[in-house]
Structure 1
């Protein structure tokens, strides 16, 4: 690790259904057509109708239903529809087509898509990263907005009062890379809490980076303390630590945080 690689940069930027009995529910979803032979049964749960129609049409045609099942599972999770409610409506669709329960491949694909979407959405809106206990990127964005509003009320620029201290774990390779990264993130989280034990916000952004939002006057001190502590840690992969200045506007800071989460390099950021 380059012990002198301190970087302090400020970015410069200033299908409708004929004859159907319908009502409108949450988010504009529409219950199913009622009463016609072979039609979808009435639903209490308002699973997005167009996806149920697509599933019914694919089952009738004998085509591969996996793609439609994935879309259906993801859409239901996004709408906040629970798994049991979704499965009940899909069972109604399958019975209307074949008189039997949903095929295994439909349930499997749908359940994976529903679970992955639900977990992702929960993480995006949570205040805390479930692995490390650090703040989530969404919470850090909120604190960033607070910092910019406070600076504006004080008649100064947030770029003059706050900065990021960023730590990146090397991407690595091999079959155990995911496990090793997770273990390293736990060590990193503890080290950052040790070095930033005041009112700083420490967040995980992306798979292999963590960021502390600190006072600009404390950034270099915190950088050096964190770098020294991590260099004494054992069994850690190569790390990079640097100070990232905040841009002039809140919108630009949000873009910067997104770039950090996507893994942009320090050179690309500057």
Structure 2
């Protein structure tokens, strides 16, 4: 069996085990760092550095530590099993070096985010997810009927169809479209590498403004052939949940 084929087989078995163990967002599982870990394992190299990078990537994608370690346990179970059947991951059976490397990478991202007091994303100019969560808290305290008075306008790109800096450029272009359409003091925020949100008051103009955003975002992306594959932008209105805690959970899910 060739090296490339062996890596594909290991990656496939790892993914299957992780999905069976309850990985919540299948589309988020494949990462370049997964391939790096598979390569290190099959070449009998120390996978420590690759696992640190994987931990960082999982945190950047929004995976919680428990979810990240269960995924790591799926890899370990596949590596140590001689059966071709689906294996059962056990976090407690993880070697300390594997666990430590992955957890350190994950914690590095979380610690950096916690220490970042900026309320604005430097690339898109949109507010950070933390600021939007704070603003939502204010809204829920301001009015007992927040779900009726407010809504979230969401915009999502398929950045996996673009590459390198083109992904960042695509989000920057649609962020400019967001600011053009929603220019009345609304809270505009990034929720992740491909999702942006606007906290708006419901009114008779909301439907028209959402339509304008679709058109303007399409125009922005059409101007650059390198970012065009990330479109068309998916734009929709999301009703606010009944409670602030539910709203926070919604933001976390939308940012994945």
Rounded to whole Å, the distance in 2 between the matches of 1:159 and 1:116 is: 32
Equivalent of 1:159, from 127, 147, 165? 147
* Aligned residue runs from structure 1 range 11-160, under 5 A: 116=109, 118-123=111-116, 125-152=117-144, 157-160=145-148
SS in structure 2 opposite 1:166?
strand
TM-score, normalised by the number of residues in structure 1: 0.50
**Bigger helix share:** 2
Question: How many matched pairs?
Answer: 151
1:223 counterpart = 2:223: no
Give me the whole-angstrom Cα distance separating, in 1, the residues matched to 2:109 and 2:250.
26
Aligned to 1:260: 254
Unaligned runs of 5+ in 2: 1-45, 57-100
Larger-Rg structure: 1
Larger RCO: Structure 1 or Structure 2 (Cα < 8 Å, ≥ 6 residues apart)?
1
TM-score normalized by the length of structure 2: 0.53
Output the CA distance in 2 between the equivalents of 1:117 and 1:145: 22
Asked if 1:170 is matched to 2:158, the reply is yes
2:172 is paired with a residue whose SS is: helix
The RMSD of aligned alpha carbons is 2.7
Match of 1:201 among 167, 187, 204: 187
Where in structure 1 are there 5+ consecutive unaligned residues?
A: 1-63, 75-108, 263-270
Post-superposition CA distance 1:76-128 (Å, at most 9, x none)? xxxxxxxxxxxxxxxxxxxxxxxxxxxxxxxxx9xx958655533345x5311
Q: CA deviation at 1:130?
A: 2.2
